[in-house]
Amino acid sequence: MAERLPLTLRTYRRLTSAASPLAPMLLARRLKRGKEHPHRLAERRGEASLPRQEGALIWAHGASVGEMLSLLPLVELLHGRGFQMLLTSGTVTSARLAESRLAPGIIHQFAPVDVPHYIARFLDHWRPDLAIFAESDLWPNLIMSCGERGLPLILVNGRLSERSYARWRYAPATIHALLAHFDLCLMQSAKDAERYSELGAPRVSLTGNLKLDVPAPPVVEARLAELKTALGDRPVIAAASTHPGEEAMVIDAHRRLRRDFPRLMTILAPRHPDRGAGVMDIAKVAGLNAVLRSPGWLPNSDTDIYVFDTIGELGLVYSLAPIVFMGGSLVRHGGQNPIEAAKLGATILHGPHVWNFREIYAALDNAKGAALVFDVNRLAARIGQWLTEPAARKAVAEQALATVGHLGGALNRTVAALEPYLMQLRLEHRQE
């Protein structure tokens, strides 16, 4: 257990404990906004909906879809070695992803809200033998409770943005006390490792980015064939995981491109599918015919914008569109993961704001496996170039696939770093 907690963390714990009667109201409000699962709200209060089986149990936590995707290969590998696996997350979309992607026998639960007695209830039931957190989801009560119970805590695929690093430097005692609870921090990049070491993490290793080892997203062949039949030989482009402000830019680019490519169709897949109706409204205001995918509608010859407001179908998007703009990059969000698109052969465009995946985009750009655009003018121009020069577009896609393959290996390095803990779990439970 770490030394005496600094005043900031003691105050945080007292305040969250005192405010715990308000937590149900917060959850109810989130439920009305569609941010909580209506039938699994008790899990957010630490109340398990499934029993805990006997034997060694490893708990893996990823905040949302991106973190969960990075954890899936590791979770499945450990499950295949005979460990019970509990995977937690905090969003409805990640829970839906778990339903469709988790292998039988792997348990998914919602993570408890960061209230001390909710966390105690969760830990009392599941009694994990090892906890693995992904990336940068550092909830103070959760971390402190694990540390106080002597639960080995490991950070995998760790990262720390420049902005977060600058903020934590103003509270050195607080972040040092939190990181002291981690037995091991496995980082995505040398810069991330340097930042964690400077902030006080006791053991830091560089293992690389687990997202580079995530397999290409699944594609239901029957759905792909159905869409290809509906589209025929029309030229198709896509914008994936877009954020507010970007859809209007993509729609503007579509209108410009339509002068030279009158049969063009653009697929728009907003990062948050519940924004689909709003995206369709933007297209209609621009005078374009738009169709939502979620009701089961297919595009026809008059469809200009096809809005993928569904979950778990990005594999279809990347398989249908040879040119894909990755969202969160023309607005100041930090970018979205381009790896899955590259693995399915898409040619990638992105804006300048990609700090969440800085190293990956830098490697792609340096290898000429992606193209950087700064505004809608250059977005439309580059798409137009690739639509008229398929050989050049194909060369970029091939470079992207080769680059992603070269950067892989983080999964093997992560498992190697975990081996001493896995061996200890086997020994402990063999003696029971």
**Residues marked as catalytic:** 67
Q: Say if residues 74 and 210 touch (Cβ distance below 8 Å).
A: yes
Q: How far apart are CA 188 and CA 372, in angstroms?
A: 23
